[in-house]
Amino acid sequence: MALLPLNDALAQILSTAPAPPKVESLSIFDGLGRVLGASVVNPRDVPPFDNSAMDGYAVRAAELPATLRVSQRIPAGAPAAPLEPGTVARVFTGAVIPPGADAVVMQEDVSVPPGEAIEVTFGQPATVGQHIRRRGSDIMAGLTVLEPGRVLQPQDLALLAATGAPRVEVYRRLRVAIFSTGDELVPPGKVPEDWQIFNSNSVQLATQIQALGCEPILLETQGDNPTEIGAALRHAATVADCIVTSGGVSVGEEDHVRAQIEQHGELTLWKLAIKPGKPVAYGHVQGCPIFGLPGNPVSTWVTFGLVVKPWLLAAQGAVVPKHRRLACRADFERPLPGSREEYLRVVMSGGGKLAALAGDQSSGVLSSVGRADGLAIIPPGQTLRVGDPVDVVLITEFLSPNAAG
């Protein structure tokens, strides 16, 4: 198969995403990271009454400046009586504005005699509406506050709570089976042989999948045995909605995943025109979608974010985000043009306008991902000199399940 440009591959992959799963109802305390399955309409004005934006005195603006009697005290959470003419009400932040009052003067601008204040003096006039948060000024009743397809974040759940909603309708989690391949891999915590390395891919894949609101099913790492890999793929297809593997999809003699996908299902595409991450396989095993990602940890990380994440979001009914590209200047050189679109790990400086390489760009150097703030995108055939413009996607946005605002 020829190398596919990323956009062409994504269009092909996303066209196969299934309809969203069934909707279930959860407590809002359990909604973090889940995909909203129904519109949320606010049933009540927020705030539900005019209230004070600060500690001070509720007044009739037309009566100021003057010395006036304090006729009532209104803390937050207490009812208020109508304001008598020629008087003011002592109010606190969040307190109801009494009927008849049309402004709040903050306490720092009021002369208050020692002891219990019976009368207070206002030396300046007040403006109608000052320091008053009007009913419905945040969210009006009947307004749709959240649309289906949003991956719920803490601020979304707080918004739901502000509308009085104790529960939320979300799509069922997708179950995603994960396993890595390679005789050289051992799990963290096990003493490796001299020729072995720790398996970081299963950890990063499981946590990335969990961050997207899916349920990771972590299966045993497989050695470079085609029969065992085939059996693992068939088993994964029975327990999950999707399979994600790392390793075994290149052209080496010990790369068996791609061949086993073809033997037990169908290979839809293979090899993307990107760097790192060229050997990406996509297809199905026994009807279960599968992504075979490369084994180098940076390649796994990049291809998950570019290819797997959009499909998982679409298959959960979520809106697939488009990465916002920041226009920056390169603080590095790229003298030789490449044949593939390249994603370089960079550190930002100069107020986010300057991008420098975050160390070694080898696809096996995971530490540079931890140092990086963003990914600089280099189109195929392009060279770079210091100071040349370069587009950068921030790491936080690359990982985020929601589209940029």
Could you tell me which of 273, 289, 269 has the C-alpha nearest to residue 281? Answer: 269
CA-based nearest residue to 106, from 86, 94, 96, 91:
91
Helix (H) or strand (E) holding 154: helix 154-162
In order of their start, the domains of the chain are: 6-21+173-315 (3.40.980.10), 24-46+137-171 (3.90.105.10), 51-133 (2.170.190.11), 326-399 (2.40.340.10)
In tens digits, the chain (405 residues) has pLDDT values of 578 999 999 999 999 999 999 999 999 999 999 999 999 999 999 999 999 999 999 999 999 999 999 999 999 999 999 999 999 999 999 999 999 999 999 999 999 998 777 899 999 999 999 999 999 999 999 999 999 999 999 999 999 999 999 999 999 999 999 999 999 998 888 888 888 889 999 999 999 999 999 999 999 999 999 999 999 999 999 999 999 999 988 777 767 899 999 999 999 998 999 999 999 999 999 999 999 999 999 999 999 999 999 999 999 999 998 889 999 999 999 999 999 999 999 999 998 899 999 999 999 999 999 999 999 999 999 999 999 999 999 999 898 888 654
Q: pTM of the prediction? A: 0.87
Using an 8 Å Cβ cutoff, are 290 and 230 in contact?
A: no
Single-letter amino acid, residue 78: A
| Angstrom distance (rounded) from CA 278 to CA 363 | 11
The β-bridge relationship of strands 144-146 and 185-186 is unpaired
- The answer to whether the peptide bond before residue 187 is cis (omega within 30 degrees of 0) is no
Q: What are phi and psi of 257, to 5 degrees?
A: -65, -45
Give the pair of three-digit tokens for residue 106: 């903050």
